[in-house]
Structure 1
């Protein structure tokens, strides 16, 4: 089992403090802006022609809009990574070679370890995430992943996904609001109060706004996985890529590239019930 709780807390802090641009790029843009503003104003005063200044301001507005758009998308739960994996074609496990970066969409089933969600107690999960927000601050996180089995929708070929211990998992699984208090309604259910007490969370719902979110992937769900393929002992295994890889520039969405360091797991559109049932393997990881 892989404990990703600290990663969830780090990602939440990073979404507010980090930027899609390295610090040197940010400092360079600020320096160029002040330099361009100084030159434009100087030319306008000396030559008495403010066309250059107007052009500079228009160009600056475009650059600021471009930067702001990327920053907003950066904060939207890995929007760049989501667009990248949706635009990438599914790989063919029948022809893929060892060490190749692959994207597989298929039906997930539990391995030797099955997870249970923290609040709703959903059983037979391969991934769970429960987040408790206090105002805008993430006060508590419980996020876990484990090794599981995926059956490719294309050919019905099965593979083991090593999302367990020591794996850096990049989750694109959304969380759903389960509990949300407002200024007018701060009464908590007995189940929620018990959940807080079991975790020794000394929060004051009467004076603070709380929001509980939970997301999970149960056995039988359709998921998309992107990682490195390993062929060992006549079996297929998908593991975390050994090196960081880039999404590349997504020019259609005006997005800068993002570096990916880990195994990507995302929800996919679920096929019809008959195909889902037939693709569930009996083997365990």
Structure 2
């Protein structure tokens, strides 16, 4: 097999290495694309007709924690707070930090390629929450907390992106990095954050369980395939956890849209 080569500053850069990095970087997008398409086209279930162990999709509003506690005193749900923006009363939060790599040998046209951003740090948390099925009006407990495998399809928003002219990072960013034992030296960074707040609308795919009068949505006990999605030219993707995403007409409070000035 021939490997295409470029010569730059008397050094050889192999296209084969870059192509492998492209494939590795694109794999999560391919899988998430298949899961997102599966989530949007999976029909909403009517929980009043669902049977124990059935795979269901529920779209509805998340109950606010204080309302749940007034109704069910023994509820053990705990709300979350986003890591960087400190947005409270969330049921899911994610904060991702990317660093820009500076490979010494590469063709000039890939200097600003998105594939040169490397994830340096990530935080993802979810907790149990209640959701009200918009079809039947039934309130169900979604077991998305500890010991649950959750597959989030939440798109993070870019909050901070440093430039090459940046000599000193902003104090909030330095504090955030220091608290996590990360280097606070000035460099090319991109910080993204996403969250789902209580009171917003979400879609969940999981397994239906009913114990006495308690209705729960839990992660599937077996691996499930999306099968081939011919309309979108997507290969099948397997999943074995709760799929959490936003409906097509999502609430603006469901994820971060705020932008901060560049450092």
- Normalised by the size of structure 2, how large is the TM-score? 0.73
Which residue does the alignment assign to 2:14? none
Of residues 87, 90, 95, the one that matches 1:130 is 95
Is the helix fraction higher in 1 or 2?
A: 1
**Structure 1's 89 and 236: CA in aligned 2 closer, same or farther, altered over 3 A?**
same
What does the per-residue CA deviation read over 1:167-193, in whole Å, with 9 as the maximum and x for residues that have no partner?
Answer: 111000111000001213454321111
Q: 2:44 pairs with 90, 93, 98, which one?
A: 90
Which residue in the other structure is 2:8 paired with? none
1:191 to 160, 172, 178: 172
Q: Does 1:103 align with 2:57?
A: yes
Change in Cα spacing, 1:188 to 1:222, as seen in structure 2 (3 Å) is same
Give the gaps of 5 or more residues in structure 2.
1-19, 66-75, 101-116, 253-263
Q: Indicate which of 231, 251, 257 corresponds to 1:252.
A: 231
**Which residue does the alignment assign to 1:78?**
32
Where does 1:148-167 land on structure 2 (aligned, <5 Å)?
A: 148-167=129-148
2:80 aligned residue:
115
Change (3 A) 1:87 1:228: same
Provide, for residues 137-190 of structure 1, a one-character-per-residue CA deviation record: whole Å limited to 9, x for no partner.
111111100100001112221000000111111000111000001213454321
User: Per the alignment, do residues 76 and 185 of structure 1 end up closer, same or farther by CA in structure 2, a change over 3 Å counting?
Assistant: farther
* Distance in 2 separating the partners of 1:106 and 1:75: 26
1:237-262 superposed Cα distances (whole Å, 9 cap, x missing partner): 00000000110111111111111111
Structure with higher strand content: 2
> What is the Cα deviation at residue 122 of structure 1?
0.5
Q: Distance in 1 between matches of 2:167 and 2:215?
A: 50
In the alignment, what sits opposite 1:200?
181
1:145 aligns with 2:145: no
Question: Does the 8 Å contact 2:169/2:185 carry over to 1?
Answer: no
Q: Distance in 2 between matches of 1:174 and 1:236?
A: 29
How far off is 1:95 after superposition? 0.4
CA distance in 2: counterparts of 1:84 and 1:72, whole angstroms:
18
Deviation at 1:100, TM superposition (A): 0.3
Per-residue CA shift, 1:40-77, capped at 9, x if unaligned?
Answer: xxxxxxxxxxxxxxxxxxxxxxxxxxxxxxx9575356
Q: Which residues of 2 match residues 48-87 of structure 1 at below 5 A?
A: 72=26, 74-75=28-29, 78-87=32-41
Report deviation, 1:112.
Answer: 2.3
Give structure 1 stretches of 5+ with no counterpart. Answer: 1-14, 20-70, 273-285
Task: Output the TM-score relative to the length of structure 1.
Answer: 0.67
Provide the aligned length of Structure 1 versus Structure 2: 206
8 Å CA contact 1:181–1:187 kept in 2: the answer is: no
Within 1, Cα distance between the matches of 2:198 and 2:160?
25
Deviation at 1:221, TM superposition (A): 0.9
Deviation, structure 1 residue 16: 5.3
Provide the rounded CA distance (Å) in 1 between the counterparts of 2:225 and 2:217: 18
